[in-house]
C-alpha cells in the first residue's frame, strides 16, 4: 500500500486566501474553505462572506479571523487586501452567478489571483474579459469544476489518452437531481431562490448549474471538442422562467456523438452525475455517487470494476490517493485535489520556480462552460435545432 499524496513535499510557503461568499448557511463556500485548507497549503485570512455584515462577522469569528480583515463589500476587500503587506495571495469567489464577473474583475484589477466557482460569468464575453485581464496582469485563474478533482476521472482521461478503449464513438452523461421538483423558491429557500431568478442566475438554471459540470467532465476526460448542439430546455413549474430540465444532443468534431441530460426535477435522484464513454475497443463508466470505482468493459473480456487505491492505475492517479482503498474519498478531497494543484502552482510562480505537473481547470474551461450554456439556450429557443458551437 502506497499512500503519498496527502503528504506534500516541503511546501514552499503557506498562501493566504480570502473569500467572497461562503457565509454561514451557504452551501459550497464551506466546501471550498475545507478543500483549500485540507493540505495546509493555504490559510483563510480575510473575507466578505455575505452581503449581511453580521454573517461575515460570525463566519470570520468561527475561523479566528482578525476583525480588520472582515469586509462589508468585496470591492473594499479587494482594495484593502491589495494595500496590505500581508494581504491575501488569492481570493475564492463562491457567490451566486451574477457576482462572479464583477468580483473576479475587482480582485484581478488589484493584482490578486482568483479561484471562481462555475458558471464562470453570465456570458462568454464576460469570461473573455476576465481571461484578458488575468493574462495582462500575469495572474492565475482557476474555475472550480468539482468533478475533475476525482482520481477516477483522471483515470478515465488517461485511459482515453492511452487508447485503452480506442477511438471514442459515443458519450452519454446525466446530471440529475430532484431537489427542485417543487417550487421551493416560493418559500424563500436560499439556494433555490437565486438559482430560479434570471437576474442572479443568468440565462439558464439547470444547464448552467449542473449541465456545465457535464460539459466540462466530458471535455476533460475525452478531449473532444463540441461541433454543434441540439438542446431542449424547459422550466418545470408554474412560476419558473429558467430551465430545470435539459435534454441535449451533441456532435463532436471528428464524428463522435453524445447525449446529456441535466435535470433538477428528477424525483428520487440526489446528485446523480454519471458518464459513459464508448470507444471502439471498450466502454468506461463513472458514477459520482460511488466515486471510488470505475467500470471498464473491454471488447471480448468480462466487466471489471476498478477500485481506487489498489495500485493498478496510471501513476498520476495513484499519486492522488489520500487514504487506502475502501476508505471512501469524495467531495471534500476532490476540492482539495484542485486546491493542491492551484496552490502549489501559485507557490511555484511566486517563488520563480517551474509549475508542478498538476491539473486545475483554468479560465478557458469557464469560458467554454458559458459558451455551452449560450448555445444550448439558443438552440432551444429556436425550437431545438442544431446550432454550431
Ligand atoms: N463547484 C460545485 O460543485 C458547485 C456546487 C454548488 C454551487 N456552486 C456554485 O457556487 C456558487 C454559490 O452557490 P451556493 O449553492 O453555495 O449558493 P449559496 O446561496 O448557498 O451561497 C452563496 C453565498 O454568497 C453570499 N453572497 C451573495 N452575494 C454576495 C456578495 N455580493 N458579497 C459577498 N457574499 C455574497 C451569500 O450570502 C452566501 O453566503 C454558485 O455560482 C454555484 O453555481 C458550485
Asked whether 170 and 258 are in contact (CB, 8 A), the reply is: yes
CA 48 to ligand 1: nearest atom: 33
| Topology of the domain covering 15-147+338-358 | Rossmann fold (3.40.50)
Given a contact cutoff of 8 angstroms between Cβ atoms, the answer to whether 30 and 47 are in contact is no
Residue with the nearest Cα to atom 18 of ligand 1? 26
Q: What confidence score (pLDDT) does residue 11 get?
A: 52
Atom of ligand 1 nearest to the CA of 22: 39
Tell me, what's the pLDDT at 8?
52
Name the CATH architecture for the domain at 151-324+368-388.
2-Layer Sandwich (3.30)
Strand order in the sheet with 257-263: 304-307, 293-298, 282-287, 272-279, 168-176, 257-263, 245-252, 226-234, 386-388
CB-based contacts of 215, cutoff 8 Å, min separation 6: 226, 260, 368, 369, 372
Whether the CB-CB separation of 342 and 348 falls below 8 Å is answered with no
Ligand 1 site-directed mutation target among 22, 26, 148, most atoms within 8 Å of CB: 26
Find the 331 Cα to ligand 1 centroid distance in Å: 17
Give distance in angstroms: CA of 96 to centre of ligand 1: 4
State pTM to two decimals.
0.97
Alpha helices (H) in the chain, listed in sequence order:
28-37, 53-62, 74-83, 97-109, 124-137, 151-161, 190-195, 198-201, 206, 212-222, 315-318, 331-350, 363-381
Q: From 114, 77, 63, 96, select the one nearest 346 (Cα to Cα).
A: 114
Q: Partners of 144 in the beta sheet?
A: 117
Rounded Cα distance, 341 and 322, in Å: 14
Choose the residue to mutate in 20, 33, 50 for probing ligand 1, maximizing ligand atoms within 8 Å of C-beta.
50
- Evaluate whether 187 touches 329 at the Cβ level (below 8 Å): no
Interatomic CA distance for residues 240 and 190, integer angstroms: 16
Cβ of 122: how many Cβ atoms within 10 Å? 23
List the chain pLDDT tens, one digit each, 389 residues.
444 444 455 556 899 999 999 999 999 999 999 999 999 999 999 999 999 999 999 999 999 999 999 999 999 999 999 999 999 999 999 999 999 999 999 999 999 999 999 999 999 999 999 999 999 999 999 999 999 999 999 999 999 999 999 999 999 999 999 999 999 999 999 999 999 999 999 999 999 999 999 999 999 999 999 999 999 999 999 999 999 999 999 999 999 999 999 999 999 999 999 999 999 999 999 999 999 999 999 999 999 999 999 999 999 999 999 999 999 999 999 999 999 999 999 999 999 999 999 999 999 999 999 999 999 999 999 999 999 99
Q: Is 96 helix (H, G, I), strand (E, B) or coil?
A: coil
Separation of CA 189 and ligand 1 centre (Å): 13
What three-state secondary structure class fits 388?
A: strand
Instruction: Indicate the burial class of 193 (C-beta count within 10 angstroms; 0-12, 13-18, 19 or more).
Output: middle
Burial per residue of 293-328, b for 16 or more beta-carbon CB atoms within 10 angstroms, e otherwise: ebbbbbeeeeeeebebbeeebbeebbebbbeeeeee
200: its cell numbers: 442572479
Q: What is the DSSP letter of 70?
A: B
Q: Is 48 in the pocket of ligand 1 (CB under 6 A)?
A: yes
Please give the span between the terminal C-alpha atoms of the chain, in angstroms, as a whole number: 46
Q: Ligand 1 center to residue 55 CA distance, Å?
A: 14
Contact 244, 211 (CB under 8 A): no
Quick one: cell of 255? 464524428
Q: Measure 1 CA to ligand 1 centroid, in angstroms.
A: 39
CA-to-CA dists, residue 203 to 98, 199, 378, angstroms: 11, 8, 10
Query: Ligand 1 centroid vs 336 CA: distance in angstroms?
Result: 18
Q: Label residue 138 left, alpha or beta by phi (over 0 means left) and psi (-120 to 50 means alpha).
A: left
> 324 CA distance to ligand 1 centroid (A)?
33
DSSP sequence for 149-215: GSHHHHHHHHHHHTTTT-SEEEEEEEEE--TTSS-GGGGT-HHHHHHT-HHHH-S-SHIIIIIHHHH
Output the pLDDT for position 264.
Answer: 98
pLDDT at 6: 46
The predicted pLDDT at position 13 comes to: 87
Listed by start position, the domains of the chain span 15-147+338-358, 151-324+368-388
Residue 191 beta carbon below 6 angstroms from any ligand 1 atom: yes
Virtual torsion, Cα 312, 313, 318, 321, nearest 10 deg: -90
Buried b (16+ CB within 10 A) or exposed e, 126-151: bbbbbbebbeeeebbbbbbbbbbbbb
Amino acid at each position: 500500500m502506497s499512500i503519498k499524496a496527502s503528504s506534500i513535499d516541503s511546501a514552499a510557503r503557506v498562501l493566504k486566501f480570502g473569500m467572497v461568499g461562503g457565509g454561514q448557511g451557504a452551501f459550497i463556500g464551506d466546501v471550498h474553505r475545507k478543500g483549500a485548507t485540507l493540505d495546509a497549503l493555504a490559510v483563510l485570512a480575510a473575507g466578505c462572506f455575505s452581503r449581511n455584515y453580521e454573517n461575515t462577522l460570525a463566519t470570520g469569528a468561527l475561523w479566528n479571523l482578525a476583525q480588520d480583515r472582515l469586509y462589508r463589500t468585496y470591492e473594499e476587500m479587494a482594495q484593502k487586501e491589495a494595500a496590505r503587506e500581508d494581504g491575501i495571495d488569492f481570493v475564492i469567489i463562491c457567490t451566486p452567478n451574477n457576482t462572479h464577473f464583477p468580483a473576479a474583475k475587482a480582485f484581478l484589477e488589484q493584482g490578486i489571483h482568483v479561484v471562481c466557482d462555475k458558471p464562470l460569468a453570465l456570458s462568454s464575453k464576460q469570461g473573455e474579459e476576465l481571461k484578458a485581464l488575468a493574462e495582462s496582469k500575469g495572474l492565475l485563474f482557476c474555475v472550480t469544476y468539482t468533478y475533475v478533482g476525482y482520481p477516477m476521472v483522471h483515470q478515465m482521461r488517461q485511459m482515453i489518452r492511452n487508447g485503452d478503449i480506442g477511438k471514442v464513438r459515443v458519450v452519454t452523461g446525466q446530471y440529475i437531481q430532484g431537489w427542485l421538483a417543487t417550487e421551493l423558491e416560493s418559500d424563500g429557500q436560499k439556494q433555490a431562490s437565486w438559482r430560479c431568478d434570471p437576474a442572479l442566475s443568468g440565462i439558464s438554471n439547470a444547464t448552467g448549474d449542473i449541465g456545465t459540470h457535464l460539459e466540462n467532465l466530458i471535455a476533460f476526460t475525452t478531449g473532444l471538442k463540441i461541433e454543434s448542439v441540439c438542446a431542449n430546455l424547459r422550466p418545470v413549474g408554474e412560476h419558473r422562467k429558467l430551465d430545470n430540465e435539459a435534454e441535449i444532443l451533441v456532435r463532436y468534431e471528428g464524428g463522435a456523438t453524445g447525449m446529456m441530460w441535466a435535470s433538477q426535477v428528477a424525483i428520487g435522484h440526489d446528485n446523480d452525475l454519471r458518464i459513459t464513454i464508448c470507444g471502439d475497443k471498450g466502454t468506461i463508466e463513472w458514477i459520482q455517487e460511488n466515486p471510488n470505482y470505475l467500470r471498464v468493459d473491454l471488447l471480448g473480456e468480462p466487466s471489471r470494476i476498478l477500485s481506487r487505491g489498489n495500485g493498478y492505475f496510471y501513476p498520476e492517479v495513484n499519486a492522488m490517493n489520500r487514504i487506502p482503498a475502501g476508505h471512501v474519498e469524495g467531495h471534500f478531497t476532490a476540492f482539495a485535489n484542485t486546491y493542491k494543484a492551484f496552490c502549489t502552482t501559485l507557490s511555484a510562480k511566486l517563488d520563480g520556480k517551474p509549475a508542478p505537473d498538476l491539473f486545475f481547470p483554468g479560465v478557458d474551461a469557464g469560458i467554454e462552460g458559458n459558451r455551452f450554456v449560450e448555445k444550448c439556450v439558443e438552440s432551444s429557443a429556436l425550437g431545438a435545432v442544431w446550432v454550431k458551437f
